[in-house]
């Protein structure tokens, strides 16, 4: 660690030294402020005060509504194609994408290392981010540990969607769009000022699209098209501002009723169930048809994803004096998500999973901010409290069609798990910034967390256990409780079939930053930060009842500069970083000999990451803007000894066994080594009275991605390649005409995945347990048009 940290320190100092050498040349060629004015800069609130993104000593990527429109960001999955260093993957639950930054992700089941915010309130799950990109002010992505100035604490970064606040003008718009796969979209907004003090803003969005994957076995309750869209969202905002007091109240609602993303079978093999490729017809699917085996083919199990989410948040800001401001944010969120999917994508009911999760969350964030010494000193102190109450029920039906074939009767539910999980977090934080001179500055902050987690679980097993290789299929008596599933609990009541456990955690977070503003257009910084992620209790994994907190220490050096190249404005932002994570939290699934399935979180001892973030914006000629970014990350587990989990002991037959194995040197999931984003926008030189016409072409490349952190020896030997998502390139484009011929009408033509690239967004390798490997494919080429009328 000393060697790598020393290397980073040398690079960081060299960065600042290079800036001091380069700055005079920039100052000679660039009029003050001209580069920033021509290239534009987005005002963000990453530190809960309004600042331009170029003035922040942190790696931050910000997009405004114009960026989102021109680069065709239709949903949250599209965000990674325009945001450097952000990886977004699909997962089995469909509406819950996985976000990853610098080797840390919002992996399902973990209170994620990447925090998601809707305005000033953290979201409960990633589902809440799916359809948030309408009537938006900015989308802000911060990288590295956060938490010493506001909100929840993180080890990887934060993603914040900020919506537009009410204005003092009566205004609004209505938008309608249509695309292939019968995609229909309606969106609208109206802003109503009541008087100089009070105003309201209401907005809504509705999208419905046919699925792009055919299911030959569809009919009745079983959908004939998978991977569709059907959701709507509503939002209301009140702004009341009078003198030194400002109140903002936001209510939002989101509903979806969709089929799940289609699992496409891509490989079969011998396995614990004794199923072989011949039984399945040796037929796989493709990205537009699920299972192409013998009749009946396709998925015959129900497939749906339903969500009902709402939230309310109130922010009050009071200027107590010219130097002192009080700010308080109170928020409540409710999530109700229900999913059903058949993970194999075949006509057999191999792995049919039902999941219902309901969560309520309250949080309050209080901050007192002081500004003094002619604004050279800025101090803030605050406290954060959050309470989350989550209930989750899981039904796992295993190999049901095999029981139908052998016993002419349906198999009762193999496993029924139910958990009530409570998480309470309390924190105090303080932060200070001081301008030593007009150019040099120092800032630092500290946070301390006190967290409590508790869970109460029940587990029942029906009359069919997971069959083993060898013995014939035998029905057993109905078992009202699955005692082995509760074996790892010290506090249990088998008579009433429940068990419970609880644990407390506490730890500090901190950061310190040194800055040098060589000019108003050049900022260099070095930063050290330490983040903390609370531990928790495992639901059904018997071997590891608790997992420990995760901590990350990261060092970063960066240079942000606006200058001129060939008498044209150019912006270059570069950052290098090195981080070390201890007790990295990793999720894994397993099966036991009694037929019960299980999942849990484990701690990998050490993870090392280092990398480069590079962004360039350049206007080589009038009306043309080029954007490019490159992200490199090296991420490896330095010490990861995974414990033995599940199975019957031999690792090759019977229920899934992951024996104790040393995974040191492996790359964490959701972490591609290389990512490239590029875009070119040309604003046509036409008479302004005719409106504004622009054309944007953008591209995104990612290198290969590992889908799973842990692999059994069997799967590693026979199907390791099915755990890797190959690298791919996507291209998108849009043609926009704002205020057509000076009217209030605007139009857009757009296309995503121009070259109809076939790529995978999620892999599910289950060769050992069930003899299949399936995948979710990314969207094919889609295109459409929309018209917007303003009033």
The residue with greater pLDDT, 412 or 210, is: 210
Query: CA-to-CA distance for 70 and 661, rounded, in angstroms?
Result: 48
- According to DSSP, the residues that pair with 648 across neighbouring strands are none
Tell me the HSE value of 372 on the side-chain side, using a 13 A CA sphere: 6
The residue with greater pLDDT, 95 or 579, is: 579
Query: CA-to-CA distance for 606 and 748, rounded, in angstroms?
Result: 48
Residues 6+ apart with CB under 8 A from 552: 104, 113, 145, 155, 156, 530, 531, 533, 579, 580, 581, 582
Query: CA-to-CA distance for 282 and 267, rounded, in angstroms?
Result: 8
Per-residue pLDDT averaged across 409-436, rounded? 79
Under the banding of pLDDT at 50, 70 and 90, the label for residue 213 is confident
Looking at residue 10, its pLDDT comes to: 36
Looking at residue 271, its pLDDT comes to: 54
Under the banding of pLDDT at 50, 70 and 90, the label for residue 768 is low
The residue with greater pLDDT, 419 or 570, is: 570
**Tokens standing for residue 214:** 């055919």
Looking at residue 5, its pLDDT comes to: 41
- According to DSSP, the residues that pair with 188 across neighbouring strands are 174, 204
Pairing of strands 157-163, 114-118: parallel
**Closest Cα partner for 448 from 468, 424, 430?**
430
Under the banding of pLDDT at 50, 70 and 90, the label for residue 419 is confident
Looking at residue 220, its pLDDT comes to: 66
**Closest Cα partner for 72 from 751, 789, 781, 759?**
751
The residue with greater pLDDT, 421 or 733, is: 733
DSSP states along 287-335:
TTBS--SSSS-S--S--EEEEEEEEEEEEEEEE-SSSEEEEEEEEEEEE
Looking at residue 475, its pLDDT comes to: 29
Under the banding of pLDDT at 50, 70 and 90, the label for residue 416 is low
Residues 471-488: tens digit of each pLDDT? 332 323 444 566 666 766
Under the banding of pLDDT at 50, 70 and 90, the label for residue 13 is very low
Looking at residue 471, its pLDDT comes to: 30
Backbone φ and ψ for 753, nearest 5 degrees, come out as: 55, 60
**Closest Cα partner for 274 from 589, 649, 653?**
653
Q: How far is CA 517 from CA 42, 136, 193, 438, 512, in A?
A: 19, 31, 41, 8, 17
Looking at residue 227, its pLDDT comes to: 86
Burial class, 146, CB count within 10 angstroms (exposed 0-12 / middle 13-18 / buried 19+): buried
Residue 589 has pLDDT above 70, yes or no: no
Burial class, 170, CB count within 10 angstroms (exposed 0-12 / middle 13-18 / buried 19+): exposed
Looking at residue 109, its pLDDT comes to: 45
Residue 317 has pLDDT above 70, yes or no: yes
Looking at residue 598, its pLDDT comes to: 64
Neighbours of 394 (CB within 10 A): 19
Residues 364-389: tens digit of each pLDDT? 999 999 999 999 999 999 999 999 99
In eight-state DSSP terms, residue 225 is E
**Closest Cα partner for 608 from 556, 552, 534?**
552
**Closest Cα partner for 266 from 724, 790, 581?**
724
Looking at residue 295, its pLDDT comes to: 44
Query: CA-to-CA distance for 574 and 15, rounded, in angstroms?
Result: 9
Looking at residue 348, its pLDDT comes to: 64
DSSP-based helix, strand, coil % in the chain, nearest 5: 10, 55, 35
Query: CA-to-CA distance for 211 and 215, rounded, in angstroms?
Result: 10
Q: Which residue is it, tokens 């009530």?
A: 420
**Closest Cα partner for 165 from 88, 50, 286?**
50
Residues 32-51: tens digit of each pLDDT? 333 344 787 888 877 777 78
The residue with greater pLDDT, 289 or 443, is: 443
Q: What is the CATH number of domain 2-790?
A: 2.40.170.20
Lowest mean pLDDT of 89-98, 271-280, 599-608, 684-693, name the range. Answer: 271-280
Looking at residue 463, its pLDDT comes to: 41
Looking at residue 762, its pLDDT comes to: 85
**Tokens standing for residue 298:** 């396709």
Lowest mean pLDDT of 317-331, 582-596, 679-693, name the range. Answer: 582-596
Looking at residue 525, its pLDDT comes to: 97
Looking at residue 441, its pLDDT comes to: 96
**Tokens standing for residue 519:** 């000019």
Residues 749-761: tens digit of each pLDDT? 999 999 999 998 8
Residues 597-654: tens digit of each pLDDT? 566 788 877 889 999 999 999 999 999 999 999 999 999 988 877 666 655 444 334 4
Query: CA-to-CA distance for 159 and 78, rounded, in angstroms?
Result: 14
Looking at residue 511, its pLDDT comes to: 94
Residue 3 has pLDDT above 60, yes or no: no
Backbone φ and ψ for 38, nearest 5 degrees, come out as: -80, -35
Per-residue pLDDT averaged across 244-258, rounded? 96
Upstream peptide bond of 651 is cis (omega within 30 degrees of 0): no
Looking at residue 404, its pLDDT comes to: 52
The residue with greater pLDDT, 78 or 646, is: 78
The residue with greater pLDDT, 9 or 566, is: 566
Whether residue 773 contacts residue 763, with contact meaning beta carbons closer than 8 Å, is answered with: yes
Burial class, 335, CB count within 10 angstroms (exposed 0-12 / middle 13-18 / buried 19+): buried
DSSP states along 333-344:
EEEEEEEEEETT
Q: Under DSSP, is residue 102 helix (H, G, I), strand (E, B) or coil?
A: coil
Looking at residue 43, its pLDDT comes to: 81
Question: pLDDT averaged over the chain?
Answer: 81
Looking at residue 88, its pLDDT comes to: 87
Residue 411 has pLDDT above 70, yes or no: no
Greatest mean pLDDT range, 122-131, 457-466, 763-772: 122-131
Residues 645-680: tens digit of each pLDDT? 655 444 334 444 555 667 777 788 889 999 999 999
The residue with greater pLDDT, 253 or 12, is: 253
Under the banding of pLDDT at 50, 70 and 90, the label for residue 12 is very low
**Tokens standing for residue 46:** 């990453």
Backbone φ and ψ for 761, nearest 5 degrees, come out as: -110, -10
**Tokens standing for residue 477:** 């008596």
């Amino acid at each position: 660690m000393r060697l790598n940290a020393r290397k980073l320190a040398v690079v960081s100092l060299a960065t600042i030294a290079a800036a001091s050498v380069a700055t005079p040349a920039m100052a000679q060629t660039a009029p003050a402020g001209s580069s920033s004015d021509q290239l534009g800069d987005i005002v963000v609130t990453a530190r809960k005060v309004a600042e331009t993104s170029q003035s922040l000593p942190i790696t931050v990527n910000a997009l405004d509504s114009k960026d989102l429109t021109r680069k065709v960001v239709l949903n949250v999955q599209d965000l990674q194609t325009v945001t450097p260093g952000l990886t977004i993957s699909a997962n089995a639950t469909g509406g819950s994408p996985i976000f990853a930054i610098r080797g840390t992700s919002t992996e399902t089941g973990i209170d994620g290392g990447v925090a998601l915010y809707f305005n000033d309130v953290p979201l409960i799950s990633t589902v809440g981010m799916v359809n948030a990109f309408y009537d938006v002010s900015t989308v802000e992505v911060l990288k590295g540990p956060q938490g010493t100035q506001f909100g929840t604490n993180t080890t990887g970064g934060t993603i914040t969607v900020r919506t537009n606040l009410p204005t003092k003008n009566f205004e609004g718009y209505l938008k309608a769009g249509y695309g292939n796969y019968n995609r229909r979209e309606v969106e609208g907004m109206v802003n109503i000022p009541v008087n100089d003090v009070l105003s309201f803003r209401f907005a809504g969005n509705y999208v419905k699209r046919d699925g792009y994957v055919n299911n030959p076995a569809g009919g009745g309750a079983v959908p004939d098209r998978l991977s569709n869209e059907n959701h709507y969202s509503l939002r209301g905002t009140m702004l009341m501002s009078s003198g030194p007091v400002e109140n903002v109240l936001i209510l939002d609602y989101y509903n979806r009723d969709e089929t799940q993303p289609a699992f496409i079978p891509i490989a079969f093999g011998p396995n614990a169930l004794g199923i072989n490729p011949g039984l399945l017809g040796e037929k796989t699917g493709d990205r537009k048809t699920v299972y192409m085996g013998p009749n009946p083919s396709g998925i015959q199990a129900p497939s749906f994803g339903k969500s009902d989410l709402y939230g309310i948040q109130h922010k009050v800001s009071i200027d107590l004096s010219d130097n002192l401001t009080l700010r308080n944010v109170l928020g409540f969120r409710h999530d109700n998500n229900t999913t059903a999917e058949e993970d194999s994508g075949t006509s057999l009911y191999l792995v049919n999973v039902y999941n219902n999760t309901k969560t309520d969350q309250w949080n309050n964030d209080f901050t007192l901010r002081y500004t003094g010494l002619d604004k050279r000193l800025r101090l803030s102190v605050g406290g954060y409290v959050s309470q989350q109450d989550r209930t989750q029920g899981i039904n796992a039906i295993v190999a049901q069609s095999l029981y139908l074939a052998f016993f002419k009767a349906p198999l009762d539910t193999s496993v029924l798990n139910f958990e009530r999980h409570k998480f309470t977090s309390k924190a105090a934080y303080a932060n200070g910034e001081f301008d030593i001179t007009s150019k040099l500055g120092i800032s630092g902050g500290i946070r301390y967390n006190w967290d409590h987690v508790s869970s109460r679980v029940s587990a029942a097993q029906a009359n069919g256990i997971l069959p083993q290789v060898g013995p014939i299929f035998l029905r057993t008596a109905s078992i009202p409780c699955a005692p082995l599933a509760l074996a790892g609990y010290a506090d249990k009541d088998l008579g009433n079939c429940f068990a419970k456990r609880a644990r407390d955690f506490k730890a500090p977070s901190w950061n310190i930053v040194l800055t040098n503003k060589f000019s108003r257009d050049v900022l260099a910084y070095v930063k050290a930060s330490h983040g903390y992620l609370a531990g928790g209790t495992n639901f059904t994994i018997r071997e590891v009842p608790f997992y420990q907190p995760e901590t990350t220490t990261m060092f970063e050096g960066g240079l942000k500069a606006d200058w001129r190249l060939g008498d044209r404005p150019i912006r270059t932002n570069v950052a290098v970083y090195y981080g070390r994570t201890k007790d990295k939290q990793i999720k894994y699934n397993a099966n036991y000999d009694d037929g019960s399935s299980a999942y849990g979180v484990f701690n990998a001892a050490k993870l090392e990451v280092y990398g480069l973030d590079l962004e360039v914006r350049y206007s080589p000629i009038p009306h043309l803007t080029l954007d490019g970014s490159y992200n490199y990350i090296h991420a490896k587990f330095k010490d990861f000894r995974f414990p033995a989990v599940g199975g019957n002991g031999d690792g090759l037959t019977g229920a899934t066994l992951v024996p104790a194995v040393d995974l040191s040197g492996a790359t964490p999931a959701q972490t591609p080594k290389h990512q490239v984003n590029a875009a070119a926008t040309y604003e046509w030189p036409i008479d302004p009275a005719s409106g504004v016409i622009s054309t944007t072409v953008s591209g995104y490349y990612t290198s290969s991605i590992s889908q799973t952190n842990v692999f059994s020896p069997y799967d590693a030997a026979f199907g390791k390649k099915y755990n890797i998502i190959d690298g791919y390139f996507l291209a998108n484009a849009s043609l926009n005409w704002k205020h057509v011929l000076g009217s209030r009408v605007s139009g857009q033509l757009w296309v995503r995945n121009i070259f109809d690239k076939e790529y995978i967004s999620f892999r599910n390798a289950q060769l050992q347990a069930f003899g299949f490997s399936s995948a979710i494919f990314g969207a094919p080429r889609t295109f459409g048009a929309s018209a917007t009328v303003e009033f």
